[in-house]
Amino acid sequence: MYSMLDLHQRTSPLQWLLIAVAQKWVATLVCDMKLDLKAKRITQDPLADISPWDTLNWHSRQILNDMSKVITFRKETVSEHRLFIVLSGVMAVRRELSDGRWTFSTLFKAGDIIDTERHERIHQGKLMALNSVDVMLVTSETFRQCLTTTPDINRVYSQVMRILAERARDHITDLACKTPTELVASVLFEFKRWPQSIQINKSDTVVLPISRRNIAHYLGIKPETISRVFNKLETQQLLQVPLADHVIMLDAPKIRQIANGGHPRGQG
Amino acid sequence: MYSMLDLHQRTSPLQWLLIAVAQKWVATLVCDMKLDLKAKRITQDPLADISPWDTLNWHSRQILNDMSKVITFRKETVSEHRLFIVLSGVMAVRRELSDGRWTFSTLFKAGDIIDTERHERIHQGKLMALNSVDVMLVTSETFRQCLTTTPDINRVYSQVMRILAERARDHITDLACKTPTELVASVLFEFKRWPQSIQINKSDTVVLPISRRNIAHYLGIKPETISRVFNKLETQQLLQVPLADHVIMLDAPKIRQIANGGHPRGQG
DNA sequence: CGTCACGTTGACCCGTTTCAATATTGGTGG
DNA sequence: CCACCAATATTGAAACGGGTCAACGTGACG
C-alpha cells in the first residue's frame, strides 16, 4: 500500500499502466485480506451465525468467546464435558435400560446449549456425537457467574433452555400418543426446521441429519418400521426418497396433517 | 393478661382458684395464639417446607414472598398463568393431537416451578390441575429481574429447571423403550419419591396421587392395561393393591429391577 | 334412586416387533 | 480402479402384545 503511494509521486505513461495493474492487484489482495479477516472473525465468533445466539450484542458474544474454546467431537464420541454450546452437527443423550435397550432421549443441534451437569442423582446417560460436532466449551463456574453478571447472556440462555423444555414436551407427546407413521412424519418436519448442513434450494427437500437407525432409536421404534413407513408414504405419492438420507415432500400439507395426528390406528 | 396481674394484687382462696383457672385458660389461649401465629407464618412463607426452596436463605424467601401471592386451582382447572411455583397437589401439561388423542407430557409436584411462557411458537398445551393445587404466583417481569439480582434465587431456579429437564429425559426414555409393565413399575417409584399428601408410616406403601386414568395418559397407555399390569404383579406376589390408590410393594427390589428394564417383550 | 365417572374383565384383532435373509452403502487398502 | 469388509438399510413371514370395544361392577354425589 505504501509503495503504491510512492508510485504516485512520479507519473509516466508506463508507470500509469503499472499503477493501474498494481492497483487492481492490490485491490484483489485487499479484498482477499478482507475475506480472510471475515473468515477469521467467524471462526473467532462462531455464535454470530447461530440462532438465537446471534441476538446477543457484540460485547456479550465477546465475553462468551473469551471464556470458551471451540473443540470438535468426532462421530460416535462420548463427551465427558457436560456444559457447552453446539455449533454444528448433532449430539444426543443416550440412555439405556439394564437389558440393553436404549434410546436417544434428546437431540441437540446447532444453537442448543447442553447443560446436564450432575446434581444429586448420578446417572443421566451418555452425551454422544452422532456426527462430527463442533462445540463451544465453557467452564462451569465462569459461565454460571457470567449468567448473573450479564443479563444479555442470561436472556438467551434461559430462552434456549425454555425452547429445549418445550421440545422435550413435544417429544414426549409424540412418543406417548403417535403411531409410527405419525412419528416419522413429525420428525421430518423437525429436521426440516433444523439448519441444514447442505443447503438445498428445493424447500420441500429434507436432508436427514442422522442415520435412520438413530432416527429409529430417537422415535422409540425399529429401523424396519421406518423403512416400511417410507414405503407406504411413497406409494401414497406423499413423498419421494431418492437417496437414503434425502426425502422430498410431495404433499407437505398432507404430511403435516399426518404428523399432527392424522393417522391413528386402524387406518391401514 | 393485664387483668391477671391485677388479680394478683389481692389474693383470697377463691381468687387463687380463679387465678389458677384463669392461668390455665390463658395458657391454652396463648398456646392457641402461638399455633395460629405459626400457621400464619407458614402461610406467609410457604417455601420454607418445600425442597429445594427450603435451601434459600430467609432474605431470598422474603423477596419471593413479597413479589408473589398464593392462589389455589381447583381440580380440573386450566390455568392461564404460565409462571408459578407449585406448593401442593399435582399440575400437568396436557397436549393434544388433532384427532383427540392426548397425553400429560409433564407432571408438576410441590417444589416444581412452572415456567412455560410462550416464545415464538404458539401451542404449548394446557396447564391443568389434576388435584386441588396451591401455587405461588409470581409476575414475570419481577421474577426475571429478581433472577439477575438475587444469585440465591437464581441458583435454586436453575437447579429446579435442570431437575425438570432430567425428569423429562427420564420420561422420554420410559416412553421410548419400556413395556407397560416396566412403565407402571417406574411410575410407582416416581410417586414414591414424591412428597406424600398422606403420611404413611409403612415406607413400602405408595399412594397414587392421581387417578389411574390420568396415570395411563401420562404413560401413554390405556387404563385397561394398567389394571392388567397390577393384576399380573399381584398374582406374582410382587405387590398388593388394597385400595385403588394404595399400592404396597411386597418385593421392592424386584419391582425396581422390572422398572429398570427387567420385563421386555416375550416374558409373559 | 338415578346419574356419572372411574375401574375392571373378557374377547378379538390390527400392527409392531421379532427373526432371518438379502441388498445396499460407505470406507479401506491393494 | 476394483475387491473386500462392515455397517446400514430393506424385505418377507410369523407371533405376540396392547389397543379397541363392549359390558359390568363400584363408589361418590345430589
Whether residue B215 lies within 8 A of chain A, CB to CB, comes out as: no
Whether residue B106 lies within 8 A of chain A, CB to CB, comes out as: yes
Whether residue B178 lies within 8 A of chain A, CB to CB, comes out as: yes
From residue A58, give the alpha-carbon distance in Å to each of A54, A64, A141, A248, B188. Answer: 9, 10, 22, 39, 50
User: How far is the C-alpha of A48 from the C-alpha of A61, rounded, in Å?
Assistant: 8
Which residues, including other chains, have CB under 8 Å from residue A66's CB and lie 6 or more apart? none
CA distance A219 to chain B (A): 7
> What residues of chain B score a pLDDT lower than 50?
1-10, 32-41
CB A173 to CB B97 under 8 A? yes
Mean pLDDT of chain A: 85
Whether residue B34 lies within 8 A of chain A, CB to CB, comes out as: no
Contact A48, A42 (CB under 8 A): yes
Side-chain half-sphere CA neighbours of A27 within 13 A: 6
The full set of domain ranges for chain B reads: 2-44, 48-174, 178-259
Residue B122: per-residue pLDDT: 53
CB A264 to CB B99 under 8 A? yes
User: How far is the C-alpha of A31 from the C-alpha of A33, rounded, in Å?
Assistant: 5
User: How far is the C-alpha of A198 from the C-alpha of A191, rounded, in Å?
Assistant: 13
Distance A263 CA to C12 C1' (A): 22
Phi/psi at A194 (nearest 5 deg)? Answer: -70, 155
User: How far is the C-alpha of B185 from the C-alpha of B250, rounded, in Å?
Assistant: 13
CB A175 to CB B178 under 8 A? no
CB B176 to CB A173 under 8 A? no
Whether residue B105 lies within 8 A of chain A, CB to CB, comes out as: yes
CB A220 to CB B176 under 8 A? yes
For the cut 90, the answer to whether the pLDDT of residue A83 exceeds it is yes
By C-alpha distance, the chain A residue nearest B169 is: A105
Residue B14: per-residue pLDDT: 54
CA distance B75 to chain A (A): 22
Whether residue A201 lies within 8 A of chain B, CB to CB, comes out as: no
Q: Which fold has domain B178-259?
A: Arc Repressor Mutant, subunit A (1.10.10)
Residue B36: per-residue pLDDT: 46
The answer regarding whether domain B48-174 maps to CATH 3.40.50.720 reads: no
Residue A2: per-residue pLDDT: 44
Residue B108: per-residue pLDDT: 97
Residue B9: per-residue pLDDT: 45
Whether residue A123 lies within 8 A of chain B, CB to CB, comes out as: no
pLDDT tens readout for residues A180-223: 999 999 999 999 999 876 666 667 899 999 999 999 999 999 99
- Cα three-residue angle B265-B217-B50, rounded to 5 degrees: 110
pLDDT tens readout for residues B18-43: 555 555 555 555 554 444 444 444 55
pLDDT tens readout for residues B40-84: 445 578 999 999 999 999 999 999 999 999 999 999 999 999 999
Look up residue B244 and give its three cell numbers. 385403588
A262: chain B residues, CB-CB within 8 Å = 98-99
A103: chain B residues, CB-CB within 8 Å = 172-173, 176-177
Q: Give percent of chain A above pLDDT 70.
A: 79
pLDDT tens readout for residues A233-242: 999 999 999 9
Identify nearest nucleotide to residue B231 by CA to C1′ distance: C8
Beta-strand (E) ranges in A124-191? 126-129, 133-138
CA distance B24 to chain A (A): 49
CB A262 to CB B99 under 8 A? yes
| CB-to-strand C contacts below 7 angstroms | A 179-181, 220-222, 224-225, 228, 244, 265-268; B 211-213, 223-224, 226-228, 230-231, 241, 244, 264-266
Residue B37: per-residue pLDDT: 45
Look up residue A149 and give its three cell numbers. 453478571
Nearest to B177 among A102, A119, A151 (CB): A102
pLDDT tens readout for residues A164-180: 999 999 999 999 999 99
Mean pLDDT of chain B: 85
CA distance A20 to chain B (A): 54
Distance B65 CA to D1 C1' (A): 77
Residue B174: per-residue pLDDT: 98
CB B169 to CB A168 under 8 A? yes
User: How far is the C-alpha of B93 from the C-alpha of B31, rounded, in Å?
Assistant: 43
Whether residue A23 lies within 8 A of chain B, CB to CB, comes out as: no
CB A166 to CB B116 under 8 A? yes
User: How far is the C-alpha of B161 from the C-alpha of B194, rounded, in Å?
Assistant: 17
